[in-house]
């Protein structure tokens, strides 16, 4: 080692050499620009006036700093399919205690039980009519609020929420009626082919029946046979509209655009972009949820007991129907949340 030079390291790791005579002098590291002081081998008092920078007296030697290898990024978690989330989807209305109360109260409001308190007063002249009208306004306003609440479930689920939202307070008739009118208008356009065809069939059959009765004849089998032949077309048109409708609701709520919701090109293109998950969502909605309602109907017909029919009609069936509505709206919102990048709305 050459004793004429002092070799040391800057804080940045750069190796620096300086003449022994420069011990205690200031300088600047050419690698990082820090101000440095040349260390002394033996105690040396810096000379007066040694505060000047003297970069030319500092000899830097290349020094490779060890590079710490970065850990590889964690592999992205595999996204569950909708069927893999089936348990979470079906238990969505019961995600917490408050949600369960909201769900059950909504189910009761859509059941015939809601009219029981006013029935004893219907036989009282004048008072019964007034109470019925007041109660009717209350029931309609609350049901409108719950109708808007179902649309809120789509909105919150589309934002990624896995918990049923709190029930909002009644805001205004304009908002709730506006929601109802938009959904009814979009539904009418979605089901227009089915409605037009069904109306034409009914008008034609009714005309034939009136023609037969006007001539004193009984409608023949040809009239009934003609209806049976057209039944397949009616079922097909209804199935297409039912398959099409969830995407309409999704577009109506998430884009807040009625024009996009009733635009068949926009809706069909969106379905094609996410067709795999859309099919899975439709299977959950139509087979799992509607299957439960069908099972209740079959049980009600098989078990023809009056008490069972009353329990099913007044309690179980309304709860199950409202449950199907809530879960359906959650599936629609969840479908958007999982595929919003592909939809490019």
Q: Is the pLDDT of residue 224 over 70?
A: no
For every residue of 67-91, DSSP letters joined together read PPPPPPPPPPPPPPPTTTTHHHHHT
Q: Is the pLDDT of residue 126 over 90?
A: no
* Confidence band of 53 (pLDDT split at 50, 70, 90): very low
What are the strands of the beta sheet with 59-61, ordered from one edge? 5-9, 15-19, 59-61
In the predicted model, what is the mean pLDDT of the chain? Answer: 78
More confident residue, 226 or 259: 259
More confident residue, 271 or 34: 271
pLDDT value at position 281?
Answer: 94
CB atoms within 10 A of CB 234: 14
Report CA-CA distances (Å) from 228 to 122, 219, 223, 292.
Answer: 44, 15, 9, 28
Pairing assessment for the beta strands 59-61 and 26-28 based on DSSP bridges: unpaired
pLDDT value at position 162?
Answer: 87
More confident residue, 98 or 331: 331
For the whole model, what pTM was predicted?
0.68
Q: Is 2 exposed, middle or buried (0-12, 13-18, 19+ CB in 10 A)?
A: exposed
More confident residue, 92 or 56: 92
Q: Is the pLDDT of residue 296 over 50?
A: yes
pLDDT value at position 2?
Answer: 59
Q: Is the pLDDT of residue 50 over 70?
A: no
């Amino acid at each position: 080692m050459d004793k004429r030079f002092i070799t040391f390291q800057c804080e940045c790791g750069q190796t620096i050499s300086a003449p022994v005579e420069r011990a205690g002098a200031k300088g600047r590291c050419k690698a990082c620009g820090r101000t440095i002081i040349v260390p002394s081998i033996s105690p040396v008092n810096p000379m007066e006036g040694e505060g000047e920078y003297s970069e030319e007296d500092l000899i830097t030697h290349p020094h490779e700093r060890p590079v710490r290898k970065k850990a590889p990024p964690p592999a992205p978690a595999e996204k569950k399919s909708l069927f893999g989330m089936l348990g979470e989807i079906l238990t969505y209305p019961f995600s917490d205690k408050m949600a369960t109360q909201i769900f059950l109260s909504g189910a009761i409001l859509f059941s015939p039980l809601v009219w029981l308190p006013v029935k004893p007063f219907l036989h009282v002249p004048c008072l019964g009519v007034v109470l019925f009208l007041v109660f009717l306004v209350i029931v309609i306003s609350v049901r409108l609020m719950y109708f808007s609440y179902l649309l809120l479930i789509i909105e919150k689920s589309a934002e990624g929420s896995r918990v049923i939202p709190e029930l909002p307070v009644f805001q205004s008739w304009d908002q709730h009626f506006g929601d109802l009118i938009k959904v009814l208008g979009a539904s009418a356009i979605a089901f227009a082919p089915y409605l037009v065809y069904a109306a034409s069939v009914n008008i034609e059959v009714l005309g034939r029946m009136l023609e037969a009765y006007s001539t004193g004849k009984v409608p023949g089998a040809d009239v009934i046979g003609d209806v049976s032949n057209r039944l397949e077309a009616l079922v097909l048109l209804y199935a297409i509209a039912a398959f099409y409708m969830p995407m309409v609701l999704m577009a109506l709520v998430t884009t807040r655009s009625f024009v996009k919701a009733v635009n068949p090109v926009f809706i069909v293109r969106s379905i094609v972009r996410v067709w795999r998950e859309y099919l899975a969502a439709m299977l959950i909605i139509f087979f799992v949820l509607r299957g439960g309602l069908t099972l209740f109907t079959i049980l009600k017909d098989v078990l023809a007991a009056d008490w069972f029919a009353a329990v099913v009609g007044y309690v179980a069936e309304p709860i199950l129907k409202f449950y199907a509505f809530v879960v359906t709206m959650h599936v629609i919102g969840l479908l958007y949340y999982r595929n919003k990048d592909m939809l490019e709305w």
